[in-house]
Amino acid sequence: MDRTFHLSQSHAEADQYDREQHWAMTPDERLKVARALQLRVYGAAAPDVRAAGPEFQGIWRPMRPK
């Protein structure tokens, strides 16, 4: 993963540049970037949230409109 620098003149131009970067990557490249970010932020010993036990069931509830 090579780091690149792009100086944009506006937020809209920066957003467009980000989209073009994502569109140019293959799905495998996107997965590699996501994995690298995950390792950088959480480390290698981070638990897998998909393997959470029943003690975490029901913590997240959908919000109901009032």
Q: Residue 37 is inside which H or E element, if any? A: helix 27-42
DSSP for residue 51: G
Q: What pLDDT was estimated at residue 46?
A: 77
The answer to whether position 20 is within a domain reads: yes
What is the number of structural domains in the chain?
Answer: 1
Q: Looking at residue 64, what is its pLDDT?
A: 72
Across all residues in the chain, what is the average pLDDT?
82
In the numeric block, the tokens 């540049």 are attached to 17
* 52: in domain: no
Kindly report the pTM of this predicted structure: 0.53
Q: Which domain holds residue 31?
A: 10-41
Q: Is residue 27 part of a domain?
A: yes
Quick check: is 66 in a domain? no
CA distance 43 to 32: 15
Give the percent of the chain with pLDDT over 70. 77
Residue 29 lies in a domain: yes
Q: What is the mean pLDDT of residues 25-54?
A: 84
Q: 33 lies in a domain?
A: yes
pLDDT in tens, 6-17: 899 999 999 999
65 within a domain of the structure (yes/no): no
